Structure 1
Amino acid sequence: MKKRKLSILLGSALFAAALCHASNPLDLGEVRTADPSGHVWADGRMYLYVSHDEECQEDFWMKDWLIYSSEDLVNWTSHGAALSVDDLSWADNYAWAPDAAYKDGKYYFCFPAGTGHKDRVNPENSTKWMGIGIAESDSPTGPFKDMIGAPLWTEPYANDPCLFVDDDGEAYLYFHGGNGHDWLVAKMADDMRSVEGDFVKMDMGGHEPKMEGPWVFKRGDLYYFTMPENNRELSHYVSHSPLGPWEYRGVFMEQESESNNHHSIVEFKGQWILFYHRWLDIDSDCGPQRHVCAEYLSFDENGTILEVERSSEGVGRSNKS
């Protein structure tokens, strides 16, 4: 027992020491990363599933997704690509914001991908289409395989999936849908290879701004629906059910430079962490590029998320809240 306590204390000390050297953006290597989906699996490590921006890419033409893991949020191990559009028979582009989940001994990688071209000058000429796929693996680092060889559905147009598995094992897929079909959720089948029933249009309490990138998590007996409101500032709702109705609680991270944001919120070693991305002009010939960052996140006594400010220290600073 004494050895176990000593091991825990040593691990906590090493974790605290490592945080003293953390900074934003996260050190994920010489690649462009965005849309971080953070998860802590049974081994206690933090896993990040991210989209991969190509240098000077055209209109978010993206080809694969990357995986990283860490024991301290400072030193990150690259596990390579989770999946590539080259592995898909139904899409060849738009490897956008992914998510992941664990259920019944399998790890699931949920991803948007598509085809075609978006004509921003003459929208009537656009051929772009996007759908959501799901791949599975026996390991959190893959290899992941597209087991159904098709998107989960073709209508409506959809991207930015959030795959949430509740305490009772039921899985729900929240997503950003085109043509005004926002605020939708679908229940996943037990085998996680299809959706059951109709899409549910959730009751958001009358506040339904333009949004992207939903992220759902549970803390205590409250469910949180969070998203980039107006594609810019991060805001949140709460509910006592994963299907709502939802109560709007407001913005917790303001927009920056009129740029998009995409995030995830996860508890790690007793502390809640917000992962997000920033557009920073660091070392590119193309101007500001996206970089994954992290901050501490806290709640008030009613469960409302407190305002989070961007920092260069990130999770390296002392968290006094």
Structure 2
Amino acid sequence: MNKITAIITSTLMAATMAGCAHHHTAQTTANGNPLNFGEGLRTADPSAHVWNDGKMYVYTSHDEECQEDFWMKDWYAFSSTDLQNWETHGPLLSVDDISWADNYAWAPDAAYKNGKYYLVFPAGSGHKDRVNPENSTKWMGIGIAESDSPTGPFKDVIDAPLWTSPYANDPSLFIDDDGQAYLYVHAKDHDYHVIKMADDMRSTEGDLIKMDMGGYEPKMEGPWVFKRDDNYYFTMPENNRVLSYYMAKSPTGPWEYKGEFMGQEHNSNNHHSIVEYKGQWILFYHRWLDIDSACGRQRHSAAEYLHFNDDGTIKPIKRTDKGVADFSSKTTSN
């Protein structure tokens, strides 16, 4: 009888320990990627900002299921304090609200100035003929919308693009410490250019300025500029795939190329933003993943921690399933 009891006790203890071990593994491998922005909601091109209310806001483009050639119609935002539980806001603005475009609601950015929130966005019209490019009629421009709230509704108050030539998309707004706003874009024959925004944020000042990139100017999309300490960073998807960067002591350069910090995945495009939140630097980006889709891989927003070397250079980053799932515990411990 004692032997049987000992066997039963030993078995129960082993089961309990296995259960504890399994529970511990589940905790340490908790998935944070892709970000939980809502079931069935496909998002890309995340632009992250921390506003005065202390929340993280991520502004995104919105992929429609099985959409044709990136024909996208509206923009969304998501807010959180722990980077795990997100509140959905939107659509913030739709191409139906824009008189000068009817398609291509691509990568947006946002800014806060003069007591207003600004959504800067690309949109366009026409059709891109990928078989016979000479027949293409596609055009894209940059618009800017205003709101009293970070979650909108946003209104295209100038009812026009900021300019009509050159063709442009992928806007990135950076406001320097002195309040001057700079707009960086991906534009036809005008990559690695910047233009100043007027103080009212409703127009530009002067012409697009060609920046000194130190002699290295690969094909690029989606610039993102930020400042840390006294260093400015010009980051981008190099060759539309690999995230790489330059550094400078001014928002207009001259820039020094520093190399890659995130490699390509599935030979697909990437688009990102970088922001500090509660003492942690975070990279937001998108991944092409096959998650409950009839069309194979679709785009999904994700996030990773970003770290710097002592000299200010960025340490290489690998994609993970965990992402920033432990953000609350990291910030609590700090």
TM-score bucket of the superposed structures, by smaller chain: over 0.9
- Aligned equivalents of 1:22 and 1:265: distance in 2? 20
Contact 1:117 1:127 in 2 (8 A): yes
Q: Secondary structure at the match of 2:158?
A: coil
Match of 1:143 among 153, 157, 167: 153
The alignment status of 1:105 with 2:111, answered yes or no, reads no
Shift of 1:37: 0.2
TM (normalized to structure 2)? 0.88
- Aligned equivalents of 2:37 and 2:235: distance in 1? 25
- Aligned equivalents of 1:113 and 1:177: distance in 2? 13
Could you tell me which runs of 5 or more consecutive residues in structure 1 were left unpaired when the two chains were aligned.
1-17
- Aligned equivalents of 1:48 and 1:112: distance in 2? 17
- Aligned equivalents of 1:108 and 1:34: distance in 2? 19
Match of 2:198 among 147, 169, 189: 189
Aligned CA distance change for structure 1 residues 22 and 71 (closer, same or farther; 3 Å): farther
- Aligned equivalents of 2:146 and 2:318: distance in 1? 36
- Aligned equivalents of 1:301 and 1:230: distance in 2? 28
The alignment status of 1:80 with 2:119, answered yes or no, reads no
The alignment status of 1:162 with 2:136, answered yes or no, reads no
In the alignment, which residue of structure 1 is the partner of 2:304? 295
Match of 1:125 among 128, 135, 157: 135
Root mean square deviation of aligned Cα: 1.5
- Aligned equivalents of 1:102 and 1:259: distance in 2? 32
Shift of 1:19: 10
Q: Secondary structure at the match of 1:146?
A: coil
- Aligned equivalents of 1:106 and 1:200: distance in 2? 26
Could you tell me which runs of 5 or more consecutive residues in structure 2 were left unpaired when the two chains were aligned.
1-26
The residue type equivalent to 2:54 in the other structure is G
- Aligned equivalents of 1:39 and 1:49: distance in 2? 8
Larger CA Rg, structure 1 vs 2: 2
Aligned CA distance change for structure 1 residues 21 and 42 (closer, same or farther; 3 Å): farther
TM (normalized to structure 1)? 0.92
Contact 1:20 1:317 in 2 (8 A): no
Shift of 1:101: 0.2
Aligned length: 302
In the alignment, which residue of structure 2 is the partner of 1:174? 184
Match of 1:31 among 34, 41, 44: 41
The residue type equivalent to 1:34 in the other structure is A
CA offsets per residue over residues 129-183 of structure 1, 9 Å max, x none? 00000001111001110010000000000000001111110000000001x2211
